[in-house]
Chain A
């Protein structure tokens, strides 16, 4: 296209937007914290508002004291809200600078609207938490910070607003910063910036303010434009949930999906879950041509070298870097329905591209979001947050949410009313935390040793049984697992019962699946060919188990370990 005839401004724009990144952020504040005014100010000052929209705001401005323009009206959406003068649902706003395009999830800060904030936070790179300088850190400020970190937002901005009403006082700002920092430390918040602002007057929003000479950091917009977000995606662990199989003719079979995390290259050796089969990436196909690599969050189509039966809900991962795999998992749940969460009720669970029947086995605890204390609970009510144990009908492939937002997130749906009931952030597998009345600690006390998985390489059934006999005689509760239909499931069951499992002849792939589901320090692999004879192998096993059980062991006298 000929750009020579364009103005300098337009030509610059076309050039510079070739590098524009996308930053999604969410805003949280209480009713009168000035959140709508702040967003209105960002939109207005960055020229993200159209003239006719401004005219409509001028018409509707009730508070004539603010320069004749109530910026908060730019973001108040629906009729009902305008009548009540409050925002009642998540609304999305857009503005752009040459450096970045911004998507704002504008969420209300009411106590009863935790669900809205969680919704807005789920896709955000950054959260702005507004604090009224006159009132300091309120319970809702803590709540907002907790939800932001729970939802894994990598960057926090604490905007201390209405500095104009406290005479731009540095001590006021510092007191708030100290109080908030102490709390944020508890949350393990990663990146927190404190900003003294006045949304109404525009201080430190777009331009640095001369009224806060003691503040040397960037104004809000500059921070939004420059905060590094390249690391916000997990680019380490390849996870490619298959969305759709593209098969236009017999010669082409492609697996379409969005790279959830990591990088996939042509030629990579990959494992397909749940089959555990391995193949290599033949090509990465897009409408714009084939690619050498694709990374999160690109939407591509992957072809493999081998004919493997793959369908929606399967996951392609890098061989040797597997996600957790299992039916039972533990997750922090934000409940979003009037009907409380209750154990044993049937739910539908959607995670990556899988939708399965599931139930809550039990509620571990409810989180008091003001104190972060744990409470016993038999239900979770609307807007409550708790840790639950979930059981799915089929195995899911997932990672801990704090490590991988794309594979660690899930929603729960009511199979009768079809409502979205809640959102879950996966903590991990729930195999060795027995959900029943007997705890792992009680099993340990009774049995006297921790559960282990002993995987023997280059060993046969005879060797395994020899070792089983010896270990049993030495006081271990031990069991050889033979020809299991689902090896991982069998091992997990034996593990959960607190016993030592002995495996022989398991493939490296199967071992990988096992590792994903169990604590790494309780899986031991030993190669028979590295030992002179069975007694030497046995000696190595015994000393490994003994060191792992140091401090816990209460075996029978003479056990020798």
Chain B
């Protein structure tokens, strides 16, 4: 029992859960061909659980899509394949193979161009190929300033682009699902969740997550403030030596662009403990958000999630 809460009042997590389930069902009911972007990260794990709840005892009525840059961590891919097999959902994996064949990587192209080709372009191509008119994403408004203004239903034109000055007003829980051919809506059921809410929910619901979120001794290159993993043949700079560092990932992306943090948090309660004492936002360790002032907004305008 929860003695401190008034009768027939939901706790904040249950209120968020109810809102997210409502959003997911609205999309399934109103769009012809929705797809759920599955990024393997903790937010995706929560979003998947909410989708399971939304259609229980039925199955999730749409496929998952993973945009694989081929630079993801091996542990992520293993987790993805096992997780999706257990759920018995259809998983579509899409890679911009042409760009990879042309040798796209962040060292040659810089992070901005690399993301544009391997994530944004790949995503737009995959959505167009699949004929998807709605795509769920696990983004939250507390992640980054430009996301704070994005709608739950974020309209994208036929080029997949977002116009922050021309967003549809969004009132109550009445979402406008009307689009023309070729246009689409990105849907963010976790819009109102914070990073702490996500961890708290994973803890309460015992949701499986990629083991890399838990602290363990890992081989790392220590470069300034950043801890970089050694996957995908990371080139060492002169004088650099891999070290074993007790560390974990706070968010998961591509190996080159996602740093680890020093941490002893090897259980969920310890991660939560770290969160409430920790005073840094999770995307701080994402190189791509900092390559230019306001860079997330620029990426989103071009079609990035």
Q: Which residues of A contact B178 (CB under 8 A)?
A: 348, 413, 415, 418
Judge whether A297 and B146 touch: CB under 8 Å: no
Give Cα A21 to B11, complex, Å: 5
Kindly state whether residue B108 has any CB partner on chain A within 8 Å.
no
Contact call B6/A230, Cβ cutoff below 8 A:
yes
Complex CA–CA separation, A353 to B169 (angstroms): 18
Knowing A9-B277, A53-B281, A89-B167, say if A299 contacts B54 (CB, 8 Å): yes
A133 within 8 A of B: no
Q: Mark A401-413, 1 if CB is under 8 A from B, else 0.
A: 0000110011101
Would B276 and A299 count as touching, CB distance under 8 A? no
Within 48-92 of B, Cβ neighbours of A (below 8 Å) are at 52-59
With A1-B268, A19-B5, A348-B178 as contacts: A119 and B10 at CB distance below 8 Å? no
- Decide if B15 touches A297 in the complex (CB within 8 Å): yes
Contact of A21 among B12, B167, B179 (CB under 8 A): B12
Chain B neighbourhood of A484, CB < 8 A = none
Contact A418 B180 (CB under 8 A): yes
B11 touches A10 (CB 8 A): no
A209 to B16, CA, bound (A): 34
Minimum C-beta distance from B184 to chain A (A): 12
Interface contact A14-B272, CB-CB below 8 Å: yes
- Taking a contact as CB atoms under 8 Å apart, the answer to whether B16 and A22 are in contact is yes
Q: How far is the CA of A288 from the CA of B277 in the complex (A)?
A: 31
* Most chain A C-beta atoms within 10 Å of own C-beta, residue among B21, B172, B276: B172
Q: Are A91 and B149 in contact (CB under 8 A)?
A: yes
Cross-chain contact B168 with A419 (CB below 8 angstroms) = yes
| Distance of B288 from chain A, by nearest CB (Å) | 15
Interface string of A421-455 (1 = CB under 8 A from B): 00100000000000000000000000000000000
Asked if B267 is at the interface of the complex by the 8 Å CB criterion, the answer is: yes
> Would you call A235 an interface residue if the criterion is a C-beta within 8 Å of the partner chain's C-beta atoms?
yes
B109 interface hit (Cβ, 8 Å): no
Interface size class, chain A: 35 or more
With A93-B148, A119-B170 known to touch, is A244 a contact of B28 (CB < 8 Å)?
yes
Checking A77, A256, A301, A355 against B148 with a beta-carbon cut-off of 8 angstroms, the contacting residue is A77
Indicate if the CB atoms of A21 and B55 lie closer than 8 Å.
no
A contact residues around B52 at 8 Å (CB) = 287
CB neighbours (8 Å) of A6 from chain B are 269-270, 273
A82: B residues at CB distance < 8 A = 294
A residues less than 8 Å from B294 (CB atoms): 78-79, 82
Of A245-253, A324-332, A491-499, which binds chain B?
A245-253
How many chain B residues touch A (CB < 8 A): the figure is 75
Q: Given A1-B269, A6-B273 in contact, is the A258-B21 Cβ separation under 8 Å? A: yes
Set of chain B residues within 8 Å of A161, measured between Cβ atoms: none
A64 CB-CB contact with B under 8 Å? no
- What is the distance, in angstroms, from A272's C-beta to the closest C-beta of chain B? 18
From B164, B269, B284, contact of A50 by CB (8 A): B284
Q: Is the CB of A101 within 8 A of B176?
A: no
Query: Which 3 residue pairs of A and B lie closest in terms of their CB atoms, listed nearest first?
Result: A10-B273, A230-B6, A19-B4
Cross-chain pairs A/B with CB under 8 angstroms, 22 sampled: A3-B269, A7-B273, A19-B4, A21-B11, A52-B280, A77-B146, A80-B164, A89-B149, A89-B165, A93-B148, A119-B171, A243-B25, A246-B56, A248-B57, A258-B18, A285-B56, A288-B53, A297-B10, A297-B15, A298-B10, A299-B21, A355-B30
Residues of A within 8 A of B (CB): 1-3, 5-7, 9-10, 13-14, 17-22, 47, 50-53, 77-80, 82, 88-94, 96, 100-101, 103, 115-116, 118-119, 122-123, 228-230, 235, 243-244, 246-248, 252, 254, 256-258, 263, 285-288, 295, 297-299, 301, 312, 336, 348, 350-351, 353, 355, 405-406, 409-411, 413, 415, 418-420, 423
Given contacts A2-B267, A17-B12, A91-B148, 13 further A-B contacts (CB under 8 A): A1-B269, A18-B2, A78-B164, A89-B164, A92-B191, A243-B26, A297-B10, A298-B18, A350-B176, A353-B26, A410-B174, A411-B169, A415-B178
